[in-house]
Structure 1
Amino acid sequence: MPSFDTVLEADLVKVKNAVENTAKEIATRFDFKGTSASIELKEKDITLIGDSDFQLDQINDILRNKLTKAGVDIRFLDIGKSEKIGGDKVKQVSKVRNGIEAEQAKKIQQLIKGSKVKVQASIQGDAVRVTGAKRDDLQAAMAMIRAEISDFPLSFNNFRD
């Protein structure tokens, strides 16, 4: 029976390269000289440190540009709130989304069940598997998911006939 998986996976190598390029640019920019501006990636958390919220916004802007140039959708970033740390420094932690959360998976499953397309959706860990009798139905389901779910960049893999 034909099937495909709906997944949410960022290319972590490209994300790492974008963070490293952002760190290089921060080190060489004149307006960041002598400040505590920095960026680092641990696991799937990107930590930005700066002297003010304005500086964090500048670092975020550089990061977004580098991610876009690397071909990574910025919707993968779940940007956290800025919080004060010792002295006059500010910190912000952004998470790189990887895997569909249970709430989002249920939303996709309900979307498919509510449609007139003859396919079934089942939640498989952090992915949603869609199966159907015809390949055309699966392609219609893909188009519907792309059109309805725009808050995060979904991709489709494991297409089987």
Structure 2
Amino acid sequence: MSAPDFYFAINDIFRHIHDVHGKDRLIDYWESLGREHYAKRNTDWKTGGPEVVVNDWRNYFAKEPGAEVEVSYTNDEALLDIRVCPAIKHLRDQQRDIVPYFCEHCDHICGAQAEAAGYRFKRSGGMGSCRQRFIQLRHPNENCTGTAKNPTSTL
């Protein structure tokens, strides 16, 4: 299966899970992919830092047909400037009906990966181009929204 065929498949899988089981189940599916399927990758990111995150994404997008992506990093952040998303481009070029929540898979898969690896994930834009940030958490009790957790607080 080529990458473009995979784009058709994931768009249809997202639609099926959403329509049959609901959006919450789709989000559960995405988050489990981020935590479980990418567990090794998450460990590599955690131990290697932002440079490893960037190199991982650089290698990933180098294999994706039609991708136009610039990656960079600082001491505590990996940044992906996705100018042309290969999945959205291919789906549009083939006149496919793209599910309106397609880009949310990045929020939940990458968000779960980031959390497992000690980062916070943020995405801006979507449906063809976006900016993704993996921000390394500085404090072990910091959560993925960037605020410190109080481990002794009660509700």
Q: How does the TM-score come out when normalised to structure 1?
A: 0.37
User: Which protein is richer in helix relative to its size?
Assistant: 2
Q: How does the TM-score come out when normalised to structure 2?
A: 0.38
Q: Say which one has the larger Rg.
A: 1
